[in-house]
Structure formats: C-alpha cells, structure tokens
Structure 1
Amino acid sequence: MIKLSKRLQTIADRVSAGSRVADIGSDHALLPVYLIQSGQIPSAIAGELNAGPCDAARKQTADAGLTGQISVRQGDGLSVLQPGEADTVTIAGMGGSLMAEILEGGYHSGKLAGVQELVLQPNVGEDIVRRWLVRRGWVLTDEAIIEEDGRIYEVLRAVSVADAEIRNIVVYDLSAVPLQTMDSYVKAGWLYRMGPHLLRKPSGLLMKKWELEHQKLERIRRQVSLSDSPESREKEAALRNEMNQIKEVLACLPTDKPSFN
C-alpha cells in the first residue's frame, strides 16, 4: 500500500468510510489509490485539468491494479463529475479563492447533487472557503492544522445537512473569540480567518501560524512606512490595526503565548 504525506493522510483520515469519493485536482491520484487500498472506500473518481498529471494519475491507478475502481477523468473542476456519482468530494493544494470558484461552479451546475461530505485543504484563503460553506448550506464539522516541510496547512471537513443554518449559528458562536474590545463584525471575521474549531481548541501550531502572519505584516508595514504619501499612511494604519487584532486574539487563547519579537 502506498504511503501518503502527512498532509494527504490528514485529508484521508477525514473521509467517511464506505463513501464514493471524487478527488478534484488529484495529480497522481495518490489519495484515491490509498483510500481504496486501505479498504476505506469502494471507488473513486480522480479529476485533473492538465494532461500531464492526468496521465500520471492513470499510470498510478494502473500500477496499483485499480483501473476498475478509479475513474481518471480530465476536466475543469467538478465538470468531471456527474450528479449522484459521489458521496464525498476532496479538493486539496490550491488557493481558497479557486477552491470556492470550483465549488460554486459545481453548486450551480448541479454537480454537487448527492454529495454529503467535503474534505478541503486550501493552501491560502481558508476564510474564503469557510464563508462559501456557510453561504451554500454546509456545516463545518472538523478542522485540523498540521505542519509539513516547513509549511502550515489547514484541513476542513464539512457536511451537507437540512438544518445547516441553525447548526452554523452554533459553529460560529462569537464567544469563541473571547474579546470584549472587538465588535461582532470583527469577531466574526476572525472566526472565519482562524477557524471556529481551531480557536476552540487552540494549539501551538495555530499560534505559530498567526505569529508568522504577524511578522509578515510587520515587514510589509516597514516597507509602507518608507513612503510619506497619504495612501501609505492609511495602509500603514490598517496594517497596525490588523496586527493589533492578531495579538489580541492570540493573547486570549489558553495555550502558550507568542513572543511577537
């Protein structure tokens, strides 16, 4: 059986047993091959936009002897999927904006019909994905944060349920951000950015991710401060405000505090 990277294994661990999986942007089809080899799922669709990765996925599938269980298809996003073909859709390794565009296209075209579970790993823009999930009636049930090869990733699992609107009120309860100095709108923004489940059970890795973000913003602020233009002053003030909010949120979380050197 193939061995997955830590990132892909985290995704695999959140796929429901027995589900039919559509892995969008499957690259070498490592995830579908592993899920079937491990007995976790019965079948899968591996979708890939470009010919090279699509050929690699076909070779990986053939080498594993799984051509009868994995359908490798070339196409854009969820266009490779027919309504009712999959119970779970996995998408990993792309930006949150593109991921949300793919999901939105699938929503409007009916490709998500019958899909009950999404397991998503955006490289950036996790808040964009979380907002899409809420807007389209999905409930975020689980979040994981991991580090691999010097990069920090978040993995999101969501389900489609009839009472999503009610359940999302609980998921995005503003008390998860224990700050009296922030208004409700700002608090909600940080829930989407940092992750409601991650904030409820904060880890050192979550702290590290946002300390690194704080450091990045400080580098940008220093560059902006070199200009005396009104636009630069306004930008610098916005950066300072965001940095202060990061410090406030992290200072309230019950875990080791960041240094903010």
Structure 2
Amino acid sequence: MTEEIKLSRRLLQVASYLPKGAIFADIGSDHAYLPCYVCKQDPSARAIAGEVNKGPLASAKETIHTYQLSDVIDARLGDGLSVLQQDEVKQLVIAGMGGALIRSILENGKDKLGSVNLIIAQPNVDERNVRSWYLDNGYIIEDEAILEENGHIYEIIVGKKVEDTYSLSEQQLLFGPILLTKRNALFNKKWNSERNKLVRIINQMKNAKEKDTVKIGQFEEQLKWIEEVLRNGSNDN
C-alpha cells in the first residue's frame, strides 16, 4: 500500500488556496509532492509539474507513477512557464524560490498567463518583488500568510486577476497589505530580525571608506518604516 503524501506546513498552506477542480501548474515542482497531494485529495483537479533540471524531473515522474496519477499530472522539463501552452492552466503555484526569480519567471512567461486567474507565490526572500509584479500586472493581493518552519519564516502571497487597477504604498509592498493589517507575533518576530540586520548593514556602510550615501539613505528610510510598524504593533497587543 502506498504511503500517504505528507506535505510540509508551508506547502499545505499553499495547497489550501487552490480551488476544487483546480487546473494548475506547479513551477519548480521538485518531487511533485504538491500536485500529487492536491490531485489525491481532489480527483477533479489536474496539474502540470514543471522542472528545469532532469534529476528533479525524474523524481517528479517517479512520485506521479507511485501514486498512480499519470492520467491527471503531467511532468515536463523546461525553464519557468515555457513548460505551458497558452491558456492551459487557470492557477499557478511558484514556491520555494527567491522573489526576484519568481518575478522573472512571471515576467518572462507573461504570454502563458492569459487564462491564469490565481497565482500562489511563496518566495523565500524578497517578497516585495512579487507584490510589485502583481501590482504592475493586474493581480490584486487576495490573501497573505506568514508561518515558521525549520527555523525559517515564510510568506505566501496570493494574487487574483482583476479588471480594476489599484495601488499599494511602498510600505504595503514591503510588509504586505494583509500581513500589515494582521500584525501577529510571527510578523513582529520577522521584522525585529530584519531590523537588526539592517542596523548592522547601515553601520558597516557608514564605516566603509567609500560611502554610498544614496543606498544608506534608502536603507535608513526602510529602517524607519520597520521601527514605526513594530512600535505600532506593540501598542496593538
């Protein structure tokens, strides 16, 4: 008997945003655990598992075969959204990469996004890059989550395609418009850590022989935002 698929908390949260009957792509799918879990839970779901390297693709195909899901999940080799045909999927998952890489995958594959009404991104770092791409390309931030796993704090950012234009402040792009409203203990923990890192960086830059005053100014402004948010957050609790 095949073992039940066990997803990490991070991927379980990602999976929870997919609707019933999802027709989705998981880009950078690795072992294809996420699409296999979703399609096992929901027999009406269909998935494409995209991988840029042959090793992980072989692992994905093996997982799909083990769980007898070859009729509903297709594992494909290719860079980013090049694995997709136009209008082939309605939802897109990109998890476990840096925000800049996620942004470039979305930007380079824009011609494949015509029918994609939901993007679930989980950047490991640089979440602002993902939010600003959503903003520039007609996706409203419908939901956000923050969670900790194995000593790392992750954010999940869900973008929904909309007709209307909308705007976000620089602070909302940095902290997340929904996370900023919730401001839970984990949010405060993350931004306390980021504040400490930023203080160290600013001090190092100020002590350098050649000072980048523009960059120092940008970092100091960001530090001010973080300290304001943390101050407000502590008043709310």
**TM-score by structure 2 length?**
0.92
The root-mean-square deviation of aligned C-alpha atoms, in Å, is: 1.7
CA displacement 1:5-50 (0-9 Å, x = unmatched): 0110110011111110100010000100000111175210000000
* CA 234–120 in structure 1, closer or farther in 2 if over 3 Å, else same: closer
CA displacement 1:167-186 (0-9 Å, x = unmatched): x34xx3xxxxxxxxxxxxxx
After TM superposition, where is structure 1 displaced by more than 6 Å over at least 4 residues in a row?
none
1:23 aligned counterpart, secondary structure:
strand
Which position in structure 2 is the counterpart of 1:3?
A: 6
- Give, in whole Å, the separation in 1 of the partners of 2:24 and 2:70: 15
2:70 aligned counterpart, secondary structure:
coil
Identity among equivalent positions (%) equals 41
- Give, in whole Å, the separation in 2 of the partners of 1:105 and 1:230: 36
Matching residue's letter, 2:52: L
Which position in structure 2 is the counterpart of 1:210?
A: 191
Residue 63 of structure 2 is aligned with which of 51, 57, 60?
60
The structural deviation recorded for 1:58 is: 0.4
The structural deviation recorded for 1:121 is: 0.4
* CA 196–226 in structure 1, closer or farther in 2 if over 3 Å, else same: same
Which position in structure 1 is the counterpart of 2:50?
A: 47
1:53 aligned counterpart, secondary structure:
helix
Tell me, yes or no, if the aligned pair for 1:19 and 1:42 is still in contact at 8 Å.
yes
The structural deviation recorded for 1:226 is: 3.6
Q: Tell me if 1:245 matches 2:225.
A: yes
Which position in structure 1 is the counterpart of 2:82?
A: 79
Q: Tell me if 1:116 matches 2:117.
A: yes
- Give, in whole Å, the separation in 2 of the partners of 1:95 and 1:209: 17
Matching residue's letter, 1:6: R
* CA 233–126 in structure 1, closer or farther in 2 if over 3 Å, else same: closer
Which position in structure 1 is the counterpart of 2:202?
A: 221
The structural deviation recorded for 1:252 is: 1.7
**TM-score by structure 1 length?**
0.84
Which position in structure 1 is the counterpart of 2:103?
A: 100
CA displacement 1:67-93 (0-9 Å, x = unmatched): 111100000000001112111010011
Within a 5 Å distance, the mapping from 1:249-260 to structure 2 comes to 249-253=229-233, 255-256=236-237
Matching residue's letter, 2:80: G
Gaps of 5+ in 1: 173-187, 257-261
The structural deviation recorded for 1:245 is: 2.5
Q: How many residues align?
A: 233
